[in-house]
Amino acid sequence: MTDFAAPLDDILFSLRHVAGAGRVPDWDDETAEEVLGHFASFAEGVLAPLNAVGDRQGARLENGRVRMPDGFAQAYRQLADGGWQGLTAPEEFGGMGLSPLIAAGVSEIFTGANHALEMVCGLVPGAIATLLRFGTEAQQAEWIPKLASGEVLSTMCLTEPGAGSDLSRIRCKAVPDGDGWRLDGQKIFISGGDQDMSDGILHLVLARSGPPDSGLKGLSLFLTRPGPGVSVTRIEEKLGIHASPTCQMEFDGAPAELIGEEGGGLQAMFTQMNHARIDVALQGVAHASRAWQIASAYAADRGQGRRADGSPAVLSDHADVRRMLDEQRHLAMGMRALCHIAAVALETGDAPDLVEFLTPLCKVLGSEAGIRAADLGIQILGGYGYLEEYGIAQVWRDARITAIYEGANGIHERSLATRGLRPGGGADAFAALMAELGQGDPHLDARLADWQALCDDLRAADDATPRAHAFAKATKRLALDAAWCRIAAVADAHPEPEEIRRLARSLRG
């Protein structure tokens, strides 16, 4: 198997030159390079070697406790000791206070090295952000230092057997009890609901504090911890991310504290959603990039067939294999560019409409990119791609979930074609971004004009939802083309400018 190598040059090129991270006040080129370089070494040396082990062993439930695969607890200890869990947490709470853009680079590298472990550790920045915005001073003082130091990991407990995409069906009940609350009910599919790596766990639970028929408005956000009234009753057998324990949890009179306003649960949960969705998009980028890495190394080495001059060929000498390798790279670099542009817009805060549109778009396109590139990787490796030996099958299995969690892709596509096209929904800001990235390129201008006509069509339709998927596909073609216009325009800043220009040309066919 090709060892994991963090795509550090590509990430730094994308953040600095493609997305213009320098526009964000707390960005610093040197710090970013140094911090990402350190994390890349850690990921290559410690996290990546556990990826296949975790896949083979999986997490296990033994006597009500989850056991992580061999080596995971030790790796987590090193992660926590390195301060990585508190990367973006404010310094006054023991964090490093670094830019979320650096964190975007870290989380892509983390996923490329070991998606399953990233799943269990990656909810912490969102939990900290939620506590900072909605927690009381006492809650912040109690939990944020522990989250930042890695003493505690966190979960997000939303899903129930009858409430997946539609959270208005949540039944888990919260009742006042003295100064606090008690939780009763079941949650399913909870990532990291238990593990044996951190000393404690902070469970953020969305539960019904209003009457049974109170819909979304009756939901509040609570925090609770392992102990009496909180148990893991099973963990799921699944297609991929085997080392990430996907837990069924029972809350039976669990003591809990309210976070934020009663009835404000969804709003509190959604604080972390924009970041979380771009994070999932970056998981897709990580898979696309890793799939290309495995496939390009294999294709450069495996002898098969002959060149036009009759000399022995390797796979990458064949035009069709090169087509597939190029598509993988287009997806990885193009989607990384869009995610970083979205992340910069989120941090500068000066284009909220654009963020509203780009966030679901990145979630859909990033996750699709990872799955597609992994699928192409399997094809490039031929029969060996279908085996576990080269690790590409695991990339495909691990990538598959990204289109489902953090809002199933179909739901984001529907929201792009409906909310996204309303006044203030972000489509106009997105069109302006496309024109800016295209810099007058005639091919892109033509595609943009077609896309705007499609938007007008959908706005005039009684119901845009049946065409939501087609709209997302058209938006994807436009967005990737525009991203590549921008990548090509700054190619000189990449260590391989000629290769970048060749890739940009080949996207046009």
- Annotated catalytic residues are 406
Q: Looking at the DSSP assignment, which residues form a beta bridge with residue 306? A: 312
**Residue 221 makes contact with ligand FAD by CB under 6 A:** no
Interface residue with ligand FAD among 297, 404, 474, 490 (CB under 6 A) is 404
Residue 235 bridge partners (DSSP): 247
- Which tokens belong to 160? 């129930």
Which residue's CB is nearer to ligand FAD, number 218 or number 334? 218
Which amino acid, residue 348? T
Touching ligand FAD, residues 125-164 (CB under 6 A) = 156-159, 164
Beta bridge partners of 249: 187, 232
The token pair at 363 is 């979630």
Shortest gap between Cβ of 452 and ligand FAD (angstroms)?
A: 25
Task: Please identify which residue in 405, 451, 471, 484 interacts with ligand FAD, judged by CB under 6 A.
Answer: 405
Q: What is the 3-state secondary structure (H, E, C) of 347-390?
A: HHCCCHHHHHHHHHHHHHHHHHHHHHHHHHHHHHHCHHHHCCCC
CB of 169 vs ligand FAD, minimal distance in Å: 9
* Site for ligand FAD, residues 245 to 264, rule: CB under 6 A: 246
Nearest-approach distance from CB 212 to ligand FAD, in angstroms: 19
Number of residues that bind ligand FAD (CB under 6 A): 19
Q: Which is nearer to ligand FAD, 36 or 254 (CB)?
A: 254
Q: Does 408 bind ligand FAD (CB under 6 A)?
A: yes
Here the tokens at position 41 are 């070494």
Cβ contact 186:248 at 8 Å: yes
The two three-digit tokens of residue 81, written as one number = 């000791």
Output the six-digit token pair for 408. Answer: 């199933």
Minimum CB–partner distance for residue 135 and ligand FAD (Å)? 20
CB of 109 to ligand FAD, least distance (A): 21
Would you say 241 or 434 has its CB closer to ligand FAD? 241
Residues 133, 274 contacting (CB under 8 angstroms): no
Q: Which is nearer to ligand FAD, 274 or 293 (CB)?
A: 274
Select 30 or 462, whichever has its Cβ closest to ligand FAD.
462
Rounded Cα gap, residues 319 and 313, in angstroms: 11
d(CA 402, CA 240): 11
Closest CB 410 distance from ligand FAD, rounded Å: 3
Residue with tokens 């959908």: 458
Q: Does residue 411 touch ligand FAD according to CB under 6 A?
A: yes
Q: Mask: binding to ligand FAD, 181-210, rule CB under 6 A, as x and -?
A: --------xxx-------------------
Contact residues for 350 (Cβ-Cβ < 8 A; gap 6+): none
* 288 near ligand FAD, rule: CB under 6 A: no
Secondary structure string (H, E, C) spanning 315-334? HHHCHHHHHHHHHHHHHHHH
* 200-208 and 152-157 strand pairing: parallel
Amino acid letter, residue 204? L
- Inter-CA distances, 159 with 121, 273, 360, 407, Å: 19, 15, 20, 11
The neighbour count for residue 422, using CB atoms within 10 Å, is: 10
The tokens for 418 are 């409906």
Out of 242, 397, 414, 494, name the contact with ligand FAD by CB under 6 A: 414
In the bound complex, what is the minimum distance in angstroms from residue 91's beta carbon to ligand FAD? 28
Single out the residue of 170, 325, 401, 472 in contact with ligand FAD (rule: CB under 6 A): 401
For residue 159, the minimal CB distance to ligand FAD (Å) is 4
String of contacts with ligand FAD for each residue 228-247, x by CB under 6 A: ----------x--x----x-
Q: Does 410 bind ligand FAD (CB under 6 A)?
A: yes
Pairing of strands 152-157, 173-177: unpaired
Instruction: Pick out residues in 428-457 that bind ligand FAD (CB under 6 A).
Output: none
> Helix, strand, coil % (nearest 5) of the chain?
60, 15, 25
Task: Between 241 and 331, name the residue whose CB sits nearer to ligand FAD.
Answer: 241
Where do contacts with ligand FAD occur on this chain (CB under 6 A)? Answer: 156-159, 164-165, 189-191, 238, 241, 246, 401, 404-405, 408, 410-411, 414
